[in-house]
Each structure stands twice: as C-alpha cells, then as structure tokens.
Amino acid sequence: MQGLVIKNTGSWYTVKTDDGRIVDSKIKGNFRLKGIRSTSPVAVGDRVQLVTNQEGTAFISAIDDRKNYIIRKSSNLSKQSHILAANIDQALLIVTINRPQTSTTFIDRFLASAEAYRIPVVLVFNKTDLLDDDEMRYQQMVINLYETVGYHCLAISAETGAGVDEVRALLKGRISLLSGNSGVGKSTLINRLLPTANLKTAEISNAHNAGMHTTTFSEMLELPESGWVIDTPGIKGFGTFDIERTELSSYFKEIFAFSKDCRFNNCTHTHEPGCAVLQALNDHYIAQSRYQSYLNMLEDKDEGKYREAY
C-alpha cells in the first residue's frame, strides 16, 4: 500500500493512503538515507510504502525517491539535520510592503535558497488593503522588479479576500510551502483557504501523539479543491545551506544569465576585470538591491557566519 506522509510528530508519521485512509505509521527497522544524517529520515511530503498490521497502524517499509527536500541543520557544530518537507511543488512567499515591512534582502535570500533547492517561488504581496497611494506605487515597483527577474507575483488581501481566488488556483493539486515573516498574514490566508483548518488537524488520528510537541514538526493541510499546504510553524526560511562561492550567483537568476559573459569562469562578480555582471549592474540591467543581496550572502560565506533562517 502507498501513501503520502502528511504529518510528522517525531516517532509517528501520519500517512494518507492512496485509497483515502489516515494511518498512523512508524518506521520499520533502521532507515538510512544516502548522504543524509537525519534525526528523522521520513518527512512530510514523502511518498511511502506501507505494511499495515492488526492494530490498524502501519510500518513504513520504503520511501520513494524525492524530487526535492528542504533541511534544517540542528546546529552549526552537529552534522545532524532535520528534513522539514519533501517533494514540494512550489513555495509561496508571503510578503508585505508595510505592517510589517518585508525587506528585499529577506526576499532575495529566500529566493536564492529556493533556487538551490529547486523549488519554484511565487511572491504573494499581502495586506494590499492597507496601502496608501505611495505604498501602492512602491509595491508595483517591487513587483516589476521581481517579474523582470522571472518570478510570478500576486497582490492580495487575505483580510478582504481580494486576489485570494488566484492563490486558490495556484495551489490546486500541488504541494505548496507557505512562508514569510511573522505577521505577514500566513495564518489569515490559510484560514481563508481552509475555513476548517483547525477542525482538519483535529480530525487526524492522534492516538499515538499524546504529549508530543507537534508544533516543532511539519504538517500538511489538505485543500478542499485538492492540493496541500505545508504549514511549518517557526520556520521562516530555508536557513543555511552549503554552496560554493562561485555557485552562489547561479541562484540569482539574472546575475547567472549575465555571468556567462564574464571573462573568468570563477568570477565572483565583485572586482574582476571583464565582469559582465558588474557591467550589467552599471547599465541598470541588474537591480542594485538584488546585487546588494548577492554581496550580503557572499559576505556571510566569507565570514563563515552561521545563519539559522533569516
């Protein structure tokens, strides 16, 4: 029997089987995943094989290959990592121009790590009902910037419902990760998409989860029009990830495009002669804010600074 892992509580996994049942499952034996030392080898979003038993629970006997996954390292020193979610079709980054203000640095860091994980991102500008004319113009500038780079942008109000149908259409039939700074309206949006969100999570069998701190683990919520939203409380970004200095520019789409014309193929686009990226920056084909974010991330790497989410 096959199914989808929709909740992880540490020792137990909630699996929705392909025939629509909810089964509490455990891992069978010693699971080792290639190259990953994880505190929890199965993640929300994993497709798994189940062997059911008499008690109505099941063993997870195999995990299908993942198309992608996001991990969080437990700490800088330990090599342990925690897989937050797997097989993500897209991430929706909820941002707000004001109340609270989402910085372009935050957006760019998120986009770069999503590129590294090969997860497409849609930028959702929320709280448009609160914007005055100046803020509205500024928002349009930011949207133009990211659309030019190649990201799909939506402007909505989770409060009034404006634009929420477009979000619904995007989510349909897909596994989506919802992310964004605290206070940007993630919960408000989820409640609008899923008026029974609280009910839904309560419906899931909890027989074996008593006393678990479920909030530290990921959970997927099923949408009425099919599709899943991953709610990862406390996780605002993808955190740190290991990339080479010369690799970083490939996670900034437009910088990467221009870098093909740099004189040196190990160009860091900071000082090198014949750098096509610096030229493009000078010619305003690359936005100053994007280049600044690139430099910030490059600097973090130089200092070996550890960043838990941003």
Ligand X SMILES: Nc1nc2c(ncn2[C@@H]2O[C@H](COP(=O)(O)OP(=O)(O)OP(=O)(O)O)[C@@H](O)[C@H]2O)c(=O)[nH]1
Q: Which is nearer to ligand X, 96 or 268 (CB)?
A: 96
- d(Cα 200, Cα 182) in Å, to the nearest integer? 23
Q: Is 81 annotated as a binding residue?
A: no
- d(Cα 173, Cα 228) in Å, to the nearest integer? 7
57 binds Mg ion (CB under 5 A): no
- d(Cα 221, Cα 14) in Å, to the nearest integer? 12
Q: Is 82 annotated as a binding residue?
A: no
Helix ranges restricted to H, the chain: 104-116, 133-149, 164-171, 186-193, 197-203, 245-248, 253-259, 276-282, 288-303
Contact set with Zn ion (CB under 5 A): 262, 267, 269, 275, 277
Q: Which of 103, 140, 187, 279 binds Mg ion (CB under 5 A)?
A: 187
Q: Which is nearer to ligand X, 131 or 255 (CB)?
A: 131
Task: Kindly state the smallest distance separating residue 82's Cβ from ligand X, in Å.
Answer: 19
CB 215 within 8 A of CB 234: yes
Q: Which is nearer to Mg ion, 186 or 290 (CB)?
A: 186
Q: Which does 290 bind (CB under 5 to 8 A by kind): ligand X, Zn ion, Mg ion, none?
A: none
| Burial degree of 302 (CB within 10 A; 0-12, 13-18, 19+) | exposed
CB 215 within 8 A of CB 251: no
201 binds Mg ion (CB under 5 A): no
**Strand 90-95 relative to strand 81-86: parallel, antiparallel, unpaired?**
unpaired
188 binds Mg ion (CB under 5 A): no
Q: Is 76 annotated as a binding residue?
A: no
Contact set with ligand X (CB under 6 A): 126-127, 129-130, 157-159, 180, 182-188
Q: Which does 277 bind (CB under 5 to 8 A by kind): ligand X, Mg ion, Zn ion, none?
A: Zn ion
- d(Cα 281, Cα 279) in Å, to the nearest integer? 5
Q: Which stretch binds Mg ion (CB under 5 A): 47-55, 159-167, 187-195, 237-245?
A: 187-195
Q: Is 74 annotated as a binding residue?
A: no
Task: Kindly state the smallest distance separating residue 133's Cβ from ligand X, in Å.
Answer: 17
Total residues binding Mg ion (CB under 5 A)? 2
- d(Cα 125, Cα 96) in Å, to the nearest integer? 6
Q: Which is nearer to ligand X, 2 or 160 (CB)?
A: 160
Neighbours of 134 (CB within 10 A): 9
Residue nearest to ligand X (CB): 185
Binding residues for Zn(2+), by number, are 262, 267, 269, 275
Binding residues, by number, are 126-129, 180-188, 262, 267, 269, 275
